[in-house]
Amino acid sequence: MKTYELTVVLDGKASGTKKKAVETLVEKTVSLTKGKIASTEEWGVKDLAYKIQKSPTGLFLHFVIELEAGEVKNLSNKLRASDDVIRYLVIGREK
């Protein structure tokens, strides 16, 4: 398994329910692929350099996850399909 860093951006005005829904989506997707979440952080609401979907701020969530290399595509597809996620980034982490 490889280690990845996943950063998800929600609308800055997102409610706690939307934040919890995205966290649950990531947890379920990772657990279905037999991966695991090493850590989760909430970076808070930050100003964006430009508006994304008419939102000037974003709520940032950061995950460190362990997945098989082929399952990253599946995770990306799930995040892309979510209406609550306005941006996300998955990068590989070196050991």
**CA triplet 83, 92, 52: central angle to 5 degrees?**
30
What are phi and psi for residue 62, nearest 5 degrees?
A: -125, 130
Confidence (pLDDT) at 70? 87
Confidence (pLDDT) at 33? 87
| CA neighbor of 32 nearest in space, from 88, 75, 62 | 75
Confidence (pLDDT) at 69? 84
Q: What is the pTM of this model?
A: 0.89
Calculate the CA 33 to chain-centre distance. Answer: 16
User: What confidence tens digit (pLDDT) does each residue in 35-93 have?
Assistant: 999 999 999 999 999 999 999 999 999 999 999 888 899 999 999 999 999 999 999 98
The residue ranges of every structural domain in the chain are 2-92
Class of domain 2-92: alpha beta
Q: How many residues does the chain have?
A: 95
